[in-house]
Amino acid sequence: MKTIPRRLMVLFLAAVMLLTAGCKKKESEPEATNNQGGGFRLDYAEEGVTIVDDEDALQKQYDEMIAAAQEQGMTLVYKNDAYSTDGITFDCYLTNDAQNPYDMFVAIYADENFTDELYLSKLLRPGTAFSEIKLNHALTPGDHMVYVAYTQIEEVDGEQQIHDQNIVTTMFHVVTE
């Protein structure tokens, strides 16, 4: 499963911010008078017109935005169901697909507000997976929809930074014997 719409939305918002930050409204110019020769004369547009302050900076930001949009999105491979008999240890399949160029970690939450953290992994290299995890606290018997955040990390100037993130829902089942 590959998700790109979130990335495109982020790029769209970045483009809007870029255009509004890098441009200023054109000052009004006096209205043109009728050409005394009787010829045709167009007035200057005043609404929706912008002036670029620094064309080179605007072009650089545009080029970076296009390059980011062309970059491969995060590939997600996982099983949508995980099972446990004790509510803590779950058989699952959560991967950092081999096609992904970045390390990633997985965070699992019991609620959509991401306040009840069930699990936080260490980094997974591309091509590795978890087949079993232990939650921070037990889930009760039954079916639980949980929120799984896959977060890619990249090194920038010696520091780890978030490169990309996708959040999916998965069903965690606690079955009693």
Which residue, among 93, 74, 55, 53, has the nearest Cα to 10 in the 3D structure? Answer: 74
- Class (C level, CATH) for 81-174: mainly beta
- Walk along the chain (177 residues) and give the pLDDT tens digit of each residue: 444 455 555 555 555 555 555 544 444 444 545 556 666 777 888 777 666 667 777 777 777 777 666 666 788 888 999 999 999 999 999 999 999 999 999 999 999 999 999 999 999 999 999 999 999 999 999 999 999 999 999 988 889 999 889 999 999 999 987
Domain boundaries, the chain: 5-70, 81-174
Contact between 163 and 152 (Cβ < 8 Å): yes
